[in-house]
Amino acid sequence: MKPFEDSLKKIFSSENKKLFSRYLLISVLGYSLIFLGIFILIDFLKMNKPIAFSIVYGISYIFLYVVQLKYLFKTSHHPKKLIRFISFILFFYFMANIIYNIGLRLNINYLLSTALTIVILMPFRLIASKWFVFKN
Protein backbone atom coordinates (compact mmCIF):
# COMPACT_ATOMS: atom_id res chain seq x y z
CA MET A 1 0.00 0.00 0.00
CA LYS A 2 2.95 2.32 0.62
CA PRO A 3 3.94 2.66 -3.09
CA PHE A 4 0.34 3.62 -3.91
CA GLU A 5 0.31 6.30 -1.19
CA ASP A 6 3.65 7.65 -2.41
CA SER A 7 2.29 7.83 -5.96
CA LEU A 8 -0.79 9.73 -4.78
CA LYS A 9 1.36 12.18 -2.81
CA LYS A 10 3.48 12.79 -5.90
CA ILE A 11 0.45 13.31 -8.14
CA PHE A 12 -1.12 15.78 -5.70
CA SER A 13 2.11 17.57 -4.79
CA SER A 14 2.11 21.36 -4.55
CA GLU A 15 4.32 21.50 -7.65
CA ASN A 16 1.76 19.56 -9.70
CA LYS A 17 -1.09 21.66 -8.30
CA LYS A 18 0.72 24.82 -9.47
CA LEU A 19 1.37 23.22 -12.85
CA PHE A 20 -2.29 22.28 -13.22
CA SER A 21 -3.40 25.80 -12.17
CA ARG A 22 -1.14 27.40 -14.79
CA TYR A 23 -2.30 24.87 -17.38
CA LEU A 24 -5.92 25.60 -16.53
CA LEU A 25 -5.37 29.37 -16.86
CA ILE A 26 -3.61 28.97 -20.22
CA SER A 27 -6.36 26.62 -21.38
CA VAL A 28 -9.20 28.92 -20.32
CA LEU A 29 -7.61 31.88 -22.12
CA GLY A 30 -6.72 29.83 -25.18
CA TYR A 31 -10.11 28.17 -25.45
CA SER A 32 -11.86 31.50 -24.94
CA LEU A 33 -10.02 32.75 -27.99
CA ILE A 34 -10.94 29.58 -29.85
CA PHE A 35 -14.64 30.04 -29.07
CA LEU A 36 -14.49 33.72 -30.00
CA GLY A 37 -12.65 32.99 -33.24
CA ILE A 38 -15.01 30.20 -34.26
CA PHE A 39 -18.04 32.32 -33.39
CA ILE A 40 -16.77 35.26 -35.47
CA LEU A 41 -15.79 33.12 -38.47
CA ILE A 42 -19.04 31.15 -38.52
CA ASP A 43 -21.70 33.63 -37.37
CA PHE A 44 -20.31 36.87 -38.77
CA LEU A 45 -18.17 35.82 -41.71
CA LYS A 46 -20.42 32.84 -42.63
CA MET A 47 -17.46 30.50 -43.05
CA ASN A 48 -17.88 26.74 -43.37
CA LYS A 49 -17.92 25.22 -39.85
CA PRO A 50 -15.19 22.57 -40.27
CA ILE A 51 -12.93 25.05 -42.08
CA ALA A 52 -13.46 27.72 -39.40
CA PHE A 53 -12.70 25.19 -36.68
CA SER A 54 -9.54 24.02 -38.44
CA ILE A 55 -8.24 27.56 -38.95
CA VAL A 56 -8.87 28.73 -35.40
CA TYR A 57 -7.57 25.56 -33.78
CA GLY A 58 -4.47 25.61 -35.98
CA ILE A 59 -3.64 29.20 -35.06
CA SER A 60 -4.12 28.48 -31.37
CA TYR A 61 -1.56 25.66 -31.48
CA ILE A 62 1.05 27.98 -32.97
CA PHE A 63 0.87 30.30 -29.96
CA LEU A 64 0.56 27.42 -27.50
CA TYR A 65 4.17 26.30 -28.00
CA VAL A 66 5.67 29.57 -26.78
CA VAL A 67 3.25 29.97 -23.87
CA GLN A 68 3.77 26.43 -22.62
CA LEU A 69 7.51 26.56 -23.15
CA LYS A 70 8.06 29.83 -21.25
CA TYR A 71 5.18 30.07 -18.79
CA LEU A 72 3.89 26.60 -18.06
CA PHE A 73 6.97 24.40 -18.10
CA LYS A 74 9.52 27.23 -17.70
CA THR A 75 12.03 25.60 -19.96
CA SER A 76 14.13 26.66 -22.89
CA HIS A 77 13.64 26.02 -26.55
CA HIS A 78 15.39 23.06 -28.10
CA PRO A 79 14.90 21.71 -31.63
CA LYS A 80 13.88 18.30 -30.24
CA LYS A 81 11.15 19.95 -28.17
CA LEU A 82 9.90 21.77 -31.24
CA ILE A 83 9.83 18.53 -33.23
CA ARG A 84 7.98 16.76 -30.41
CA PHE A 85 5.56 19.71 -30.19
CA ILE A 86 4.87 19.57 -33.92
CA SER A 87 4.12 15.84 -33.56
CA PHE A 88 1.91 16.71 -30.58
CA ILE A 89 0.12 19.39 -32.64
CA LEU A 90 -0.51 17.07 -35.55
CA PHE A 91 -1.83 14.27 -33.36
CA PHE A 92 -4.12 16.47 -31.24
CA TYR A 93 -5.16 18.62 -34.20
CA PHE A 94 -6.23 15.44 -36.00
CA MET A 95 -8.02 14.11 -32.90
CA ALA A 96 -9.75 17.46 -32.26
CA ASN A 97 -11.06 17.58 -35.82
CA ILE A 98 -12.35 14.01 -35.62
CA ILE A 99 -14.16 14.59 -32.32
CA TYR A 100 -15.54 17.97 -33.43
CA ASN A 101 -16.86 16.60 -36.72
CA ILE A 102 -18.38 13.56 -35.02
CA GLY A 103 -20.27 16.05 -32.84
CA LEU A 104 -21.48 17.92 -35.91
CA ARG A 105 -22.60 14.67 -37.56
CA LEU A 106 -24.56 13.87 -34.39
CA ASN A 107 -26.28 17.25 -34.84
CA ILE A 108 -24.64 18.77 -31.78
CA ASN A 109 -24.39 22.56 -31.90
CA TYR A 110 -20.95 23.60 -33.17
CA LEU A 111 -20.10 25.46 -29.93
CA LEU A 112 -21.12 22.47 -27.81
CA SER A 113 -19.14 20.18 -30.10
CA THR A 114 -16.14 22.47 -29.58
CA ALA A 115 -16.62 22.32 -25.80
CA LEU A 116 -16.85 18.51 -25.83
CA THR A 117 -13.70 18.32 -27.91
CA ILE A 118 -11.88 20.47 -25.36
CA VAL A 119 -13.12 18.52 -22.35
CA ILE A 120 -12.15 15.19 -23.89
CA LEU A 121 -8.67 16.21 -25.05
CA MET A 122 -7.60 18.62 -22.28
CA PRO A 123 -6.26 16.10 -19.74
CA PHE A 124 -4.47 14.10 -22.42
CA ARG A 125 -2.79 17.23 -23.73
CA LEU A 126 -1.40 18.11 -20.29
CA ILE A 127 -0.06 14.61 -19.76
CA ALA A 128 1.50 14.47 -23.24
CA SER A 129 3.02 17.93 -22.80
CA LYS A 130 4.57 17.14 -19.44
CA TRP A 131 5.82 13.62 -20.12
CA PHE A 132 6.66 13.86 -23.80
CA VAL A 133 6.80 17.28 -25.43
CA PHE A 134 8.59 19.50 -22.90
CA LYS A 135 10.58 16.78 -21.16
CA ASN A 136 14.25 17.76 -20.91
How confident is the model over 16-38, as pLDDT tens digits?
Answer: 788 888 988 998 898 899 889 99
pLDDT at site 9: 60
**5, 23, 132 from 124: Cα distances, Å:** 23, 12, 11
Average pLDDT value over all residues in the chain? 87
> What band does 101 get if pLDDT is binned at 50, 70 and 90?
very high
**Domain of 37?**
2-133
pLDDT at site 120: 93
How many folded domains does the chain comprise?
Answer: 1
How does pLDDT run across 111-136, given as a tens digit for each residue? 899 899 988 998 888 888 888 888 87
pLDDT at site 51: 93
pLDDT at site 55: 93
> What band does 12 get if pLDDT is binned at 50, 70 and 90?
low
Helix crossing, 49-67 with 14-39: angle to 10°?
Answer: 150
Q: Please state the rounded mean pLDDT for residues 65-80.
A: 88
pLDDT top residue among 99 and 7: 99
pLDDT at site 36: 95
pLDDT top residue among 50 and 135: 50
**22, 28, 74, 96 from 119: Cα distances, Å:** 17, 11, 25, 11
**32, 76, 83, 85, 106 from 28: Cα distances, Å:** 6, 24, 25, 20, 26
* φ, ψ for residue 73, nearest 5 deg: -100, -10
